[in-house]
Amino acid sequence: MDNQELPPALEQALGGFGRYLEGERARSAHTLRAYLSDLRSLLEYAASEGIIELPGLELGTLRRWLGAQNQAGMSRSTLARRSATARSFTAWAMREDLIGTDPALRLRAPRREKSLPGVLQSQQLTRLLGGLAEAAAEGAPLPVRNRAMVELLYATGLRVGELAGMDVDDLNPDRRTLRVIGKGNKERTVPYGVPAAVAVDDWLRRGRPMLAKEHSGTALFLGSRGNRVDQRQVRAVVKDVFEALGDTSATGPHALRHSAATHLLDGGADLRAVQEILGHSSLATTQIYTHVSVDRLRKSYQQAHPRA
């Protein structure tokens, strides 16, 4: 759909806010496009109500704008983002003296829906990892690498970017721990088990030397040309093994992270220990996995108890 023509004052404000985001806030191109699309939607709605200058923008207009999108079926997460865009825009307009009062101060976004993460069952993981081990047994370097990457993702709950950024020196094979540089450049130490240790050792002995080049440096996992593996390649590997599994809707590495966290808690691990392993800055983020465990417990109870 083509953008509607805005009144000159509103178009000028849209451009000014875009320059602010791009310059002072150093937003990414993707975020910039999303924010400006949100703001254009708001200003087009305001124009449809006869508003031609920013001082005419009122709280009621903002609420009706969000309400119209809610009725159109827009997701809560998108509505929450658009509400945040509106608040950022009006706060900027106040600082620029384009408006005298901030109409978005009392604007409330709908709460984001908290979806429970998808979790692979233990028997699914046994089949998945068993298939990778069979492929690796033939000795080709990429299957050996793929097995090691997936074993390590599940064993540690690493984010895909953390896995791709690992160096050989980050491993401590004697203690079966690895050093991870996570979000916010925060460092943590994560343990891993014997199956992952076996797979990684196999990669280091048999697979990596076959792919390593002079430019490979100390990268733990390499692509077919000897470069450090990137996140896209890891995601493609995980997508393929999930598709081969056949009985899961999981598609990406984050499903392995979800599974690792949930299985740790199901096995009795302390919530704060799981927080440390996953690198969550807030315990509240980790607590979503307790909801997964309680939900599974409730389903098991309802299926098994005669008076559930």
- Residue the block writes with tokens 């069952």: 121
- Residues 226, 23: Cα–Cα separation, whole Å: 37
147, 257, 258, 263: which is the annotated catalytic residue?
257
- Residues 182, 76: Cα–Cα separation, whole Å: 28
Active-site residue flag, 239? no
Half-sphere exposure at residue 4, Cβ-oriented, CA atoms within 13 angstroms: 13
82, 258, 263, 280: which is the annotated catalytic residue?
280
236 close to 215: Cβ distance less than 8 angstroms:
no
Active-site residue flag, 289? yes
145, 147, 159, 208: which is the annotated catalytic residue?
159
63, 176, 254, 296: which is the annotated catalytic residue?
254
Smallest Cα–Cα separation from 146: which of 244, 216, 217? 244
Active-site residue flag, 291? no
290 close to 275: Cβ distance less than 8 angstroms:
no
Active-site residue flag, 280? yes
33, 183, 205, 291: which is the annotated catalytic residue?
183
- Residues 209, 292: Cα–Cα separation, whole Å: 41
Q: Where are the alpha helices (DSSP H) in 49-180?
A: 59-71, 76-95, 122-136, 141-156, 160-164
Report angle CA 264, 290, 242 to the nearest 5 degrees. 60
Query: Which residues, other chains included, contact 34 with Cβ-Cβ below 8 Å and sequence gap of 6+?
Result: 81, 85
Residues designated as active site: 159, 183, 254, 257, 280, 289
